[in-house]
Amino acid sequence: MSKKYHLYQVDAFTEQQFRGNPAGVVLGADGLTEIQMQEIARELNNSETAFVFSSDSPEYDVEVRFFTPVREVPMCGHATVAAHYVRALEQNLPSGRIMQKIGAGILPVDIVRENDSIRITMTQGLFRLGHPFDEAQKQELCTALRLSPDQLREGWPIQEVSTGFGKIMVPILSEEVLDNLEPDWDALCRLSEKIGCNGYYVFAPAPQNADYLFCGRMFAPISGVREDPVTGNANGPLGGYLAHYGFLQPVDGRLRFSALQGKAMGRAGIIAVEVGLQNKEPVEIRISGSAVIVFRAQLEL
């Protein structure tokens, strides 16, 4: 006997359709097998699709699983924003905090309603730093990114940073260089296999008078996604990286900034990042954004 599922295509970190980062969302996913979820994610071909399950524990309100077109991943920022935006809109949920179980643990998500807008804030997992790249690794990375070493930002380490799903932070000098990057995808995949990390977040300072502080591009070809438009799992770790090294100063014990991503793809979106500090180290990292539904569909399996 077939079962019907509610399927949504959602653009996250934007309020404008066809901008920001697209994610698939399946509400009421109870009953779907892992194979079916992977096939749905492959069919939609977004960087991630979120599957929302009911809770069987008092410790959390919902369980969410995330699939790229080729594999399951433990967490995803933009698909979290998309999933809870849809839940808030379709179920008329009020402002408040819910707990979601994901691959990275049980973490809070806040729904904030202001007039007709809905904003979603995701608290990410524990901040973790990997080892900085050595000179040989830097050279291999630059070759793969087709980036000249003198375009790297001096004194800013290249290293893996994680809040549940690590990314390599790659600080460079200018937005112009960022916008013109054309990586060697096969070389990036080989490097990913060697270092055990799927994604590279290349970021630069914003131009003067911009309404954002940093701009970035996130490449993850080994996950089946050459470039991701606006990435919570990159910008959250960026906040922790900036705080850890003191590259950005906190105000009242918290570091806050916004970043632009997706411009080079024609899918620009803005993500807000907030980092809570204790003894000058990141202890809580949150990302926030809006979303918009592009279409609704019914899936019968």
Residues catalogued as catalytic: 48
Positive or negative CA dihedral for 260, 262, 263, 267? Answer: negative
If we measure between CA atoms, which residue out of 163, 170, 159 comes closest to residue 130? 159
Cβ atoms 241, 161 nearer than 8 A: yes
Cβ atoms 118, 289 nearer than 8 A: no
Q: Which residues of 76-102 are buried (b: 16+ CB within 10 A; e: fewer)?
A: bbbbbbbbbbbbbbeeeeeeeebbbbb
- Residue 50 class from Cβ within 10 Å (0-12 exposed, 13-18 middle, 19+ buried)? buried
- Cα(169)–Cα(244) distance, integer angstroms: 13
CA distances from 208 to 135, 175, 180, 205, 235 (A): 31, 11, 19, 9, 20
If we measure between CA atoms, which residue out of 219, 120, 214 comes closest to residue 174? 214
Tokens found for residue 84: 């809870």
Where helices occur in the chain by DSSP H, the ranges are 34-44, 77-90, 135-145, 175-179, 185-195, 232-245
